[in-house]
A and B are shown apart, each in its own frame.
Chain A
Amino acid sequence: MRRTGLALACVVAAACEPTAPVRDCAGCTYDFADTIPPDTSLVFHWPAARLPVRYYADPRAAMPALVATGVAAWNAQFLYGELRAVQVADSSAADVIVRWEATPPPDVPPDTSTVDACAGSTTNPSVVFRDSSARVLHVTLGVKAGAFSDAQVAACLRRVAIHELGHSLGLLKHSPSRFDIMNAVPTVSFPSVTDRRTAEVLYHTPPTVLPPP
């Protein structure tokens, strides 16, 4: 009788324990670490002590809005306080500075195209913070040469801004899937479930490269 009661209590307790989502399934994440052959893995993410990550946006044209979109997109991926990014108005107080590569394009509403009309680059944190005394990462966004409409460029810049901010957060590699914002040529508008899982795993993985204190 007593055992039955105990077993019943266990069943009740188990029934109240929700099943946690599976995160280690094949294809649920992609590689985020840089490697130096043969076996050095460079894992970078902003540590809790350095949060919030401060982004400064070139004030010209749509850049502040693009950075705001990127910051909001990545902040929304985390459930447990792993990351908090903010936009700052003073470049000297920034951890990441986002600028135009050249003359800014017109600030127009984006269309729904997925044309590869723009480009971006981010200084690699695993190089910058490991091999130099630099304290700031730099992101640049620009327009590709070609016959693109302003709306196509705006749509591209929105995707690429999120993509480049992903690199600045530590997603150092590209996703092989075209459904992920971290694909080499991003065609989706927001981080995917796979992007989110990869970022979560990154921010729970002990880093081997740290930013300066």
Chain B
Amino acid sequence: MPARYWRLAGLTGGLACTAGPLPAQLLVRAAVGVRYTSRLVHDSIVSAFDVRPALAPALAVTAATPVGERWTAQATLDFSTSPLERHDADGTTTGLGRVSTLAFTVALHRPLPAGFAVALGVGGLKYLPADATGIFRQGSGAIAGLGQVTVEYAPAAGARYGLGVQARYDAHRFSTPALQSEGFDSPRLVHRVTLAVRAGWGGGAAR
């Protein structure tokens, strides 16, 4: 992971530790983890190959507030970045430049027994390529709709700092103007799985 992303993660963590008290009804969490993304493109020119992002560092900041006895409403800004790679059938991998994603989701979060919790969310995701080349040569297309499920586990021992681990799954549909020009007739469903650790502060951070 590039050093600047570790610095960004450190900065976020530092803010989480040093920020002043928040209103009792507002909870802020930061999560840092690693993300797997399924293939963005499957194509065949002479032989078949896939295009997908490499494992990516992922950073998410969530603001939440209770909306009932057991439910919490959340708004999350999520960022990840990694090299885009072409994987050929013969095992070779070719770098296609860096691509980042920025997603905004709103979700409902509900605690479960034994320190677990689940959140269901929807939102939008935008691809941010470093260069306007290849599949992004005509841009990255519109914001894609996103559906998300998060499962969290927060051990009692880490309640003071809102420490926990989370597994997040989300799905969206991917296409670009260049792929459409090439003849791809519809977007591809892309799955992402993120494993992260989180910390939080504010009222009810331990939940």
Contact = CB atoms under 8 A, between A and B. Distances in A.
Interface of A: 13, 16-23, 48, 75-76, 78-82, 200-201, 204-205
20 contacts: A16-B173, A17-B42, A17-B188, A18-B186, A20-B43, A20-B44, A21-B182, A21-B184, A23-B44, A23-B45, A48-B92, A75-B133, A76-B137, A79-B43, A79-B137, A79-B182, A80-B135, A81-B86, A81-B94, A201-B46
B175 interface: yes
A210 to B, nearest CB: 15
Given A78-B134, A80-B135, A16 B96 contact: no
A19 B134 contact: no
A133 to B, nearest CB: 28
Nearest to B94: A81
Contacts of A17: 42, 188-189
B95 interface: yes
B49 A80 contact: yes
A199 to B, nearest CB: 10
Interface string B136-173: 01000000000000000000000000000000000001
Interface in B70-104: 86, 92, 94-97
A17 B51 CA distance: 14
Contact of A81 (B44, B95, B179, B184): B95
A80 B183 contact: no
B183 A22 contact: yes
Given A18-B175, A201-B45, A80 B188 contact: no
B184 A19 contact: yes
Contact of A204 (B41, B42, B46, B178): B46
A76 B175 CA distance: 18
A20 B40 CA distance: 12
